[in-house]
Structure 1
């Protein structure tokens, strides 16, 4: 219960710190969600994306 009280006093007691904590939390959540989604997409499409197969096509124009 002491942890909850200290978090309340630190972040949620004043409107300005509450707003800043919401904004910072939203930025971090967006970053985490975006990187997680990209990782899942790349894992599901391994071998199909250009960065995985471009070595097959680059440098073959040499005659």
Structure 2
């Protein structure tokens, strides 16, 4: 219960700190969600994306 009171008094008691907490939380959630979605997409499409197969199609400059 002490942790809850500390968090409330530090972050949620005043409207200004509540608004800043919500904005910072939204930015972090967006980054986490975006990177997680990209990781899942790349895992599901491993071997099909250009960065995985481009070495098959690049010209080799052998002299």
Say yes or no: TM over 0.5. yes
Query: Where does the alignment leave 5 or more consecutive residues of structure 2 unmatched?
Result: none
Runs of 4+ in 1 over 2 A off after TM superposition: none
Q: Equivalent residue for 2:40?
A: 40
Q: Aligned pair 1:9/2:16, yes or no?
A: no
What are the superposed Cα offsets for residues 6-50 of structure 1, whole Å, 9 maximum, x if unpaired? 000000000000000000000000000000000000000000000
Query: Where does the alignment leave 5 or more consecutive residues of structure 1 unmatched?
Result: none
TM-score (norm 1): 0.94
Paired residues in the alignment total 62
Q: CA separation in 2, counterparts of 1:60 and 1:50?
A: 17
Q: CA separation in 2, counterparts of 1:60 and 1:37?
A: 34
How large is the Cα RMSD of the aligned pairs? 1.3
